[in-house]
Structure 1
Amino acid sequence: MLFERLQKPSHRTLLIALVIPWLSAPLFAETDSKEAGKKSEVLIAELAEDESVEDVEHSAPLQRDGQKEKAPKPKTSRGGAGVDTPSSASRKVAPNIDLKEVAPPPEAQTSAPPETDADAAESEVMATEALAEPEPQPEIREGKVFTLLDNDVMPGTSTRLAWTPGIQIAGLSQTTPVLVVNGINAGPTLCLTGAIHGDELNGIEIIRQTMYDLNPEKLSGTVVGVPIVNLPGFQQGSRYLPDRRDLNRHFPGSPDGSLADRIAHSLFENVIRKCDMLVDIHTGSLKRTNLPQLRADMNNPDVAEFTRGFDRMAVVHSTGSAGMLRTAAVEAGIRTVTLEAGESHRIQQHQISAGVNSLTSLMERQGMISRMFVWGDPEPVYYDSDWIRADHGGILFSEIELGANVSEGEILGYVSDPITNAQHPIRSTSDGRVIGMAVDQVVMAGFAAYHIGTEAEVPGE
């Protein structure tokens, strides 16, 4: 698919494009739309928050109608320059590119040779001609110009931009790619973020497949994708930033705080505040895996309604913790959920397909795309959960699989002592479903091995 270039770049335009080769693989084919299937009722529930396992946070109880008035959304601006960007006077039109095409590697920039008298005369002639024949301005069609990172992305175009938090050595700084598809028609703005923890790979591929399958000529609204937020952590294969901080505990950040605070602040002000909706994609922490699920604050009516757009995704009620991107974005009036899928350090196609399917259903539900989409059976909401821990050290051998329904007292696995040959069973403490679990590995006493979720009951029954 080739897109028509709306404006011919001048020789002074700087193209910013950081190329990641595997971000440019073939895309899924697009089909015509027809909404089908039954959309599920979301059951209100509550569940303990456990993103890092080691530090379990409990959600606030569910707020019933009349208990708490809905807080007014703070007014946010989606236009203008961000904190780390130049003033709006220097904005430029982003180049229209086909995201499906493999981009060339960025060329090294070299300083220009000293200008001679002949060069100066030629430059003066060119300047005179430029004044006499101004370049044609791009046509603005039915959609809206989307301004991000000091670039104007025209309706019906897609582009690659670059975000930098400005925290590295200036001569060695690297930019983080930001993909933008701005639809031909007006609509909401959806933001997708991945790899806030640098070792969580499934979200990167979920965003790549979703973004590269979009046709701006058939899109209503705008989709912004940041596949790798924590670029230093990704390059080191680490969950954390170089200062050993967890970036997802520092939002919305501050401009003069720690390294994590500054990165969080730059991303939040320059990208996140420009969006109406946000899906922050994660996986289980080290050597743990999560069933594809949404973490959402079901006390917030807008967020609860937002979860209805995700096909075949279990919903886990969690108010979130201070410093999480999800928490900060909801407080800023942006409908936000966390999408958990799989385990870290791995690319898992089954989990990726589940994520792409749910994002496609979300965009279809929001009226951003029009496709033939068949909804699956509704998934439950889990209002309570419990991490079952090993009581002995040894090697963990699981007897059940992720997503299995279990009964109270059922054996989930064994911890085997390789020296004494003792076998210690781990049993479920309740009826429910395995929504997260550790992979087989060496464990010590107290290790969180199985996450059991309990299904919500219909209110009033």
Structure 2
Amino acid sequence: MTDADIFTYNGGRVDPGERQNLRFVVSETYLGDPVRIPVTIINGERPGPTAFLSAAAHGDELNGIEVVREVAYEWDLSELCGTLICLPVLNVPGFLAQQRYLPVYDRDLNRSFPGSADSTSAKRMAARIYTNFIEPCDVGLDFHTSTRGRTNMIHARADMGDPDVARLARAYGTNVIIDSQGASGMLRTEAVTDDVAAITVEMGEAHRFQRALIDEALAGVRSVFAEYGMLEAEQVRWPGWRTVITEEREKTWLRADVGGMVDMHFERGSLVHEGDTVCTITNPFKDDNVLVEAPFTGLLVGILENPVVYPGNPLCHLVELDRRTRRVVEMDQSSNSVGW
């Protein structure tokens, strides 16, 4: 055993071949009681990379919680090479309140990384998480869902200009990768700055477990473990087709120009053609229908779930496909049901 084989954090260590479940203190309540996040660390007996799986940086985003829990507590990790850090609920106060942001100051934990030990409560919490469990890693997957009232098809968001991040994103195996550096303070953005290859995985909607998406996300985790040799029995998967949405490719949120109730005519993940009526907005009497048409041919990465809108509210997230990918998607959707 060498020091390099031992995973250490503030207050403890995990030796090769060991597993620890802990509740790690990240803050305090008004009463001075500790705020703890659940953490599971599995240190394999054989060397390999250190990886993190994180979820619920937004407290109402539940799909990723189940992904991380199933990997940590249901998978056979006895042959794990390297170290795996599982963080199923980053934003415990938000999770307990079942709301997106930290409840007290309405701060976004996923705009607070890498944090600071002498700044706001959100940044202090972020610093405790980041320095102990994110910064020591080589790679990481941060699971999210759409915000309340909307839903996303499963896709990755990654800085494809970074070769290490691009390798991770492709290994995860989603059909769609949205190429972006991410905003300052995002967990994945700050991790990449510190040479930790990290991506965001978006999947479904808030406030629920969606089994089909969870299973798809778990397949992506297995593929990543195969790519990095963490579980040698696994294989890197090919999703059948892939498109990387870059700045050169058109993408837009279609927004409502009127208030009313929305009848969405397509599911998330659907291919729509230029001029297709994506949805219809009506008033309570259904005597004034406003048709919302696709401005270009593309894929509906995200759509509205809550069917009521004010003017300016987002209706759907549309991304452009090149002709070759479009033909592949058309054939794929003609033989399979939509709804990734």
The aligned amino acid for 2:64 is: G
Report the equivalent of 2:288. Answer: 422
Q: How far apart, CA to CA, are the structure 2 residues paired with 1:150 and 1:173?
A: 15
Report the equivalent of 1:448. Answer: 314
Contact 2:27–2:36, Cα closer than 8 Å, also in 1: no
The aligned amino acid for 2:163 is: P
Alignment pair present for 1:370 and 2:232: yes
Question: Residues 270, 141 of structure 1: CA spacing in aligned structure 2 closer, same or farther, 3 A cutoff?
Answer: closer
Report the equivalent of 1:239. Answer: 100
The aligned amino acid for 2:124 is: R
TM superposition score normalised by structure 2 = 0.89
Contact 1:141–1:184, Cα closer than 8 Å, also in 2: no
Shift of 1:269: 1.2
Decide which of 133, 136, 147 is 1:285's aligned counterpart: 147
Report the equivalent of 1:382. Answer: 245
Contact 1:249–1:323, Cα closer than 8 Å, also in 2: yes
Report the equivalent of 2:274. Answer: 408
Please state which structure has a larger fraction of its residues in strand. Answer: 2
The within-5 A match list for 1:99-248 is: 140=1, 144-169=5-30, 171-242=32-103, 243-248=105-110
Contact 1:143–1:156, Cα closer than 8 Å, also in 2: no
RMSD: 2.0
Quote the sequence identity (%): 35
> Which secondary structure does the structure 2 equivalent of 1:268 belong to?
helix
The aligned amino acid for 1:146 is: F
Shift of 1:278: 1.4
The within-5 A match list for 1:74-113 is: none
> Which secondary structure does the structure 1 equivalent of 2:200 belong to?
strand
Contact 2:25–2:35, Cα closer than 8 Å, also in 1: yes
Alignment pair present for 1:263 and 2:125: yes
Report the equivalent of 1:357. Answer: 219
Instruction: Extract unaligned runs of 5+ from structure 1.
Output: 1-139
Report the equivalent of 2:261. Answer: 395
Decide which of 197, 210, 214 is 1:348's aligned counterpart: 210
Contact 1:143–1:186, Cα closer than 8 Å, also in 2: no
Shift of 1:402: 0.6
Shift of 1:313: 4.0
Alignment pair present for 1:327 and 2:193: no
Deviations 1:301-333 (A, max 9, x none): 221122121123421111111111111111111
Shift of 1:456: 5.3
The aligned amino acid for 1:147 is: T
Decide which of 142, 149, 158 is 1:296's aligned counterpart: 158
Contact 1:293–1:314, Cα closer than 8 Å, also in 2: yes
Deviations 1:421-447 (A, max 9, x none): 211111111111000111141111111
Q: How far apart, CA to CA, are the structure 2 residues paired with 1:380 and 1:185?
A: 35
The aligned amino acid for 2:176 is: A
Contact 2:27–2:35, Cα closer than 8 Å, also in 1: no
Q: How far apart, CA to CA, are the structure 2 residues paired with 1:185 and 1:213?
A: 20
Decide which of 238, 253, 274 is 2:115's aligned counterpart: 253
TM superposition score normalised by structure 1 = 0.66
Q: How far apart, CA to CA, are the structure 2 residues paired with 1:234 and 1:265?
A: 19
Q: How far apart, CA to CA, are the structure 2 residues paired with 1:321 and 1:357?
A: 27
Deviations 1:273-295 (A, max 9, x none): 12111111100011111110100
Q: How far apart, CA to CA, are the structure 1 residues paired with 2:167 and 2:259?
A: 44
256-265 or 207-216: bigger deviation: 207-216
Question: Residues 264, 454 of structure 1: CA spacing in aligned structure 2 closer, same or farther, 3 A cutoff?
Answer: same
Report the equivalent of 1:317. Answer: 179
The aligned amino acid for 1:377 is: G
159-168 or 387-396: bigger deviation: 159-168
Shift of 1:378: 3.1
Contact 1:414–1:426, Cα closer than 8 Å, also in 2: yes
Larger radius of gyration: 1
Q: How far apart, CA to CA, are the structure 1 residues paired with 2:89 and 2:175?
A: 23
The aligned amino acid for 2:231 is: I
Shift of 1:454: 1.4
Shift of 1:347: 0.8
Contact 1:142–1:155, Cα closer than 8 Å, also in 2: no
> Which secondary structure does the structure 1 equivalent of 2:69 belong to?
helix
Q: How far apart, CA to CA, are the structure 2 residues paired with 1:431 and 1:457?
A: 10
Question: Residues 409, 457 of structure 1: CA spacing in aligned structure 2 closer, same or farther, 3 A cutoff?
Answer: closer
182-191 or 150-159: bigger deviation: 150-159
Instruction: Extract unaligned runs of 5+ from structure 2.
Output: 325-340
